[in-house]
Structure formats: C-alpha cells, structure tokens
Structure 1
C-alpha cells in the first residue's frame, strides 16, 4: 500500500534534533523574547540576509500562545509578502533553517500548515514550524556571540599592531633614504615589497594578519637598526673628549664632569602605573614592548606625528613612549571619574616632552606616584 503525501518533506537528522529541544516546565515566552533570541541566533550563526528575513518573519507571527511548543503556521504566500523573497528562495531558506536546527517542521498528515481550533474557536494546536529550538538554544547563541566578539577584537588589535609596524618600517626606510642615501637598503626594500604583497587587508573577512605580523616586526627591527647604525657611524655611543684644555698649558683645568643621564624606568613600573596599555593585549616586559605600545597609542591621544618625531629626537623612543602612556592613562582616569582636566591630550603630550627634555619632569617619580594611586 503506497501512501501519497501532498507537500511533505523527507525526514532528516536535523529535524529530529530540533524536536528534542524543549523549554523548561512552565516556561512562557513573549514575542519580544522570541525575536531577541532570533536575532542572537542570526548573529551567532552569521546567517545570510535571506535567512535573517525569514527567521524574523517567523518570530513576528508568533501569537504568544500558552503552549509547550512555539508553533507558527504562516503560509508561503504570507511569508513571501513579509520578506519580499520569491517562493523558491523561501523554500530554500526554510530548508536551510531546518538543517541548522533553528526551526523544525511539524507536518500534518497532508503536509499542510494550519491551526486546530476547539469548539469555541480558540486555537488549541497547529501544524507548521516549531520555533522552540530558537529559545532552547539561547545559551548557545550567547556563547557563540561572545567568542565571535573576542575573535573580532583580537583580530582588530592584530591589524592595529600590523599597521604600526608597517608604518614604522616605511618611516625608517624613508628616513634612511633621505638622510643617508649612501647606505644600502635594497634588501630591506625588497623584503617590504614581498610582505606588502602577502599582507591581508582588514576588510577581508575571516583573514587575520598573524601569518605576517612577526615578519613585519622583524623587518621593523632590521630597518630601525640599519638607520641607527648609519646615524651613529657604527659607534655605540657619543665620543667624549677627554682633554678639553690646551696641550701647551700645563695648568689646564680638568674637564667638568658631565651630568649623568636620567634613570630609565623599568617596563614593569610602566605597566603597573599605566594599566591602559593592557587593553591592546601586549604585556610590557621589555623596552621594545613599551615603544611598540607608545607608537600604537600615539594617535589615540591626538598627538601629531611631528610631535612624536620631536619627542623621539629629544628623549628617545622609550621615554617618548612612556610619556604617551602617561598621558593616555591620565586622560582615561579623568574619563572614568567624569572629569575633563586634560582637554587637549596631544598638546599636553608636547608640554610634557618639553618639561622632560629640560629636566623639570621626572618620569620615574611620576610613574611611582601613579602606581601608588592605583594601589590605594
């Protein structure tokens, strides 16, 4: 004996899995809650626009019946009018939502969708689509969204760091060509061109810069070291004249002792005083880490590139980076307290650079004071 179905569908594992999803005993669901869970499902599964429209339409027709299952029975014609899709696109979309275990079909004997009404005309049951899995998997949607948000934030920070390193390489090579044209930098330029070809773009979905991030960091170190060696002519430090008097004057005075350079603060002290640097996911263990974060946060405080260049020339990249972190931390503290004491962080950075170069601003003392305020 052969059974003929009108509008039926083949049984799938996803459909059976959807039937096993259930709500807690006595749980009631509003249309607003169902729609919010539907939006979370669309975001967690990264649904294409057509599927989002169908899912939103199915949630919108839920009548808030006090049933154990969230069943809706809109016709294809009604759903096409709500979504603007063709009937073929709608059928494919419903099939995909069932395969994703977002909805599950509840077919009647003839495969049609309709409501069953009691003697008084009240709807007591229905055949159509069961939306229970949307709410039953609400925790899964929240976890998936949280993980996706963390991945996006990590990817964004990685691209920010990549931009900083690419810019540092370009600046070092440009300065090398402008100030020391006799220095050979062909190998560095070739490496830069090769990396540019293999570097992914930020807009490329799903592609991260992790593959080339370390390579750009190594090229940055090589380019800056080449510039440093060219600028110092291979000497590790400045030449000090030991005898400043006349060679024929037997009573020439001994040269005055040069002032000792100011002490450089430890990266651990910088990290403790300026926790705002931790937002970029880099632990300040070495001076190179401080310099890297300083370059990255320079634009965030509104400091012009010329201000950064002047600071590096007057104080060195490390102290300039520490000043950037100090300004960023002070401004962040003001924002958290609801105060606006530093109205122009970029101008404040220039002022600190000038005071520090004149010896009127102690970096280590300021960092220790900021650390004490964080501990109290």
Structure 2
C-alpha cells in the first residue's frame, strides 16, 4: 500500500494544505522510527513499548485547550475516539486508525448529537490533532487478512495526537503556570479590597467621613464584579489601581491619626466605672457578642450594629438612682412652652454634606433640596410628625440637645426606622442621655456612614 493513501476526505469536502502537512509529519516520524530499528544490533531488541499515555495526554490537552483553540466538548469527542484504541499507550509509528460507528461514537461521547459530533470532529482535524482516513464509499471499517490481522483501516487516525505529545505537554505546563499567576493576582486583588474597605470603614467610625468620602468613591469604582474568566491584563490593571489607592489612603489615615487620639485624661474619664455592688452587677450584664439585640427604655429593640456606636445602653455604670432619675427627666427638665421660640441653633462641628451622606433619606422631604442647616431643621419637623414623635418629646430633645443635634437625631432615626419600635420613646431616651452628657451625634453618624459603605462595597463585590 502506498504511504500517502486515503489522505483526502470523502465527498465534496476539500483538503487543506495543513491537513496534507500533518500527514507528511506522520510519515517522516514513522520513517525515522523504522531507520532506528534497522540500525539497532541483532542482539538488542528494539523497544516497541509506546511512550505516550493517551489518558494523561488528553488530560494535558484539556489544560491547554485554549492554546489549540478547542472547546471542552471537542475534548470529549477526542476522548471517545481514544477509547476505541485498545492499548493505554500508543506512538505515531503504530496503526492508530479507529473506525467506530456513528451510534457507538455518540454513546461514548455522552450522547452527543450527530451534527454536534461532526462539528467537533472538524475542529479536531483543523487543530491538527486528528486525521481522516476515508474509504472509497466514506464508510469506516477495517479489512483483515485470513489470519485476522488488519491490512487496512479507514476512519480516524490518532497518530497526529501522539506525534504532538511533547508540544501538548509544554502547552499544558505553560497553562498551569498562567493559571497559578492568575489565582495569585486574583487573591491579591481580593486582599487589597478587604484591607482598603476596612481602613475606610475605620476612618468613618472615627468621625473622619468628610476626608475619606473620596477614598470610598475610588474604592467603589475599583470594586466591580470579576468574571470567572477575567483577562490577566484586566486583573493586573485593577491591582495596580488598588495599590495606588492603598498608598494614598494609608498616607491620609496616618497623617490624621494624631488628631483623633484622645488625651490620656479624657480616655480615663470616659472609662467604664464598675460598682462593687453584687446586686447591681447581676442586674446589668453586658454581652459583647456581635449578634445580640439590645433592649432599651420603652421596650424598643435595636440591632447592635446601630447601637454599638451610640451610648444608648443601660450599662453596668448606671446605678439604680440614675435609672430613676433618667426616667423622671421629663418632670425635672425646664418646661418650654410651645409658643416660646427655640434656642438659637449652633452650627455643630460636623459638615452638612457628611450628615446627608449618612442620612440620604432626608433629601426626600425637602422639595427644593437640602442646602443649609435650616433646611435640615425644617425637614426634621416634617419627619418627626411622620414618625409619630410627639410635640412634647420633640421640644424636650431640642431643649436638651439643641435644634441642630435634634434634627440630626431625627434624620438618623429615619434611616433605621424599620429597626426602632417606638421612635418617640427612643428620642426621649437619647434626650435623657444627652442631659447627663452621655450622648453625641458623631458616633451615630459614623455608624450610619460605615453601614452605607459596607453595603456599597458588598454590593459591588457581589
């Protein structure tokens, strides 16, 4: 039989130059192997054991499929064809023509449709990993002699696959290296996102939201969704952007760290003073678990995530006398008639933009827009009536806290109204704490701003 026999496809399909060159490579490899066998000594048997494990080779091809332009289903078809070769190992010098029927090939290809089979077979031929050996009538079969030895076989030749084993292994090693680099880069991006988010959140908790709002916006711009097959260049660009953001953020955070560190005497005054009274300690137990719920006056329940940043707890430092005095604060506080003008508002040491970024719902109650503090106080008057806060509780809060702080508290209550059972009772409770110097609006706003930052970061990362 001639060496270049049955190299053209059956029917109207044309033969490309690449397919002819694949056949030439197979012929040269077989000729080289035959010459090596002829030159071997008579006492030394030639090693006929194939050197390529077909299943390991297909696994390597699966890892390097993008290099050869193959899909996962094309690999399934190649695996099905390889299963028709009875030996586990093969080489390009052997007869590697398999001749399965369409029905059996479809079964071994996990029930793939005939049209899909033909498409993926064509892809394997175009990739140079498979070669057609079509018979005169296009049928796949083997012709045997009287002793049962195959004289000629027509079907699909797997010799190109065995011939390119070294190339496949090299491409697979390169693919594994690129995948490892991509995993490391993705992990680095994730860690940068986490560290930057926590640092910005810490700055918000410290009441520096005005300074760090720009960093929060930059973080949000770099926190988009990453697809499973994201390109390495895209991931590298994001990593570089996060590195730049991290350098700027850490420099700004360290530059302003000394401004927020409290003096030693202030820290000592704000420390919790525990009483030695066993009865008091038994009645006031503070559980610091993050998932607890905290009960305050009037029976309302507030999530720890909101209350942790505002001193609204009846902690162990609160004596029985203090509790009684706080409950009677309304009777002891100076009375203010409804007709009396409120005290002149004092501008708090908080920027209006920071308040509105933490409490954005207040914008909905000022048709002309919130541009000044007096707009906020007018909106708070509308909101407190909508929340059911009585005039008496509202006047008490304005008297104790001041007009602006009371308006800020109402804006904060509006943000968490779904978690507060009694807004009026809650406002009275905060007024009682403000009267004894145990309440400030700054930690409350910091908690709301940090919660909004977490929501934006989590939503972008998802």
In the superposition, the TM-score normalised over structure 2's length comes to 0.45
* Deviation per residue, 1:118-155 (Å, 9 max, x gap): 13232122111110111111111111111111111111
Distance 1:79 1:54 in 2: 8
Q: What residue number does 1:214 align with?
A: 240
* Structure 1 residues without counterparts, runs of 5 or longer: 239-376
Distance 2:239 2:189 in 1: 6
* Deviation per residue, 1:296-335 (Å, 9 max, x gap): xxxxxxxxxxxxxxxxxxxxxxxxxxxxxxxxxxxxxxxx
Q: What residue number does 2:58 align with?
A: 38
Paired residues, what number?
230
Distance 2:10 2:238 in 1: 57
Question: 2:226 is matched with which residue: 198, 201, 226?
Answer: 201
* Structure 2 residues without counterparts, runs of 5 or longer: 1-8, 35-46, 264-462
Change (3 A) 1:202 1:154: farther
Change (3 A) 1:42 1:168: closer
Q: In the alignment, does 2:83 pair up with 1:60?
A: yes
Between 129-138 and 114-123, report the one with greater CA deviation: 114-123
Measure how far apart 1:88 and its partner are.
1.0
Q: In the alignment, does 2:153 pair up with 1:133?
A: no
Q: CA RMSD in A?
A: 2.9
Change (3 A) 1:204 1:94: closer
In the superposition, the TM-score normalised over structure 1's length comes to 0.55
Change (3 A) 1:40 1:20: farther
Summarize the alignment of residues 356-371 of structure 1 with structure 2, pairs less than 5 Å apart.
none
**Rg (Cα) greater in structure:** 2
Q: In the alignment, does 2:106 pair up with 1:80?
A: yes
| Secondary structure at 1:196 match in 2 | coil
Change (3 A) 1:71 1:205: farther
Question: 2:14 is matched with which residue: 3, 10, 13?
Answer: 10
Distance 2:251 2:80 in 1: 61
Q: What residue number does 1:116 align with?
A: 143
User: Given that residues 125 and 132 in structure 2 are in contact (C-alpha distance below 8 angstroms), is that contact kept between their aligned partners in structure 1?
Assistant: yes
User: Given that residues 99 and 140 in structure 2 are in contact (C-alpha distance below 8 angstroms), is that contact kept between their aligned partners in structure 1?
Assistant: yes
Measure how far apart 1:41 and its partner are.
2.2
Distance 1:42 1:97 in 2: 13
Q: In the alignment, does 2:171 pair up with 1:144?
A: yes
Change (3 A) 1:123 1:175: same
Change (3 A) 1:33 1:10: same
* Deviation per residue, 1:197-239 (Å, 9 max, x gap): 3xx516234454101111111111111111111112399xx9x
Change (3 A) 1:180 1:62: same
Q: What residue number does 1:358 align with?
A: none
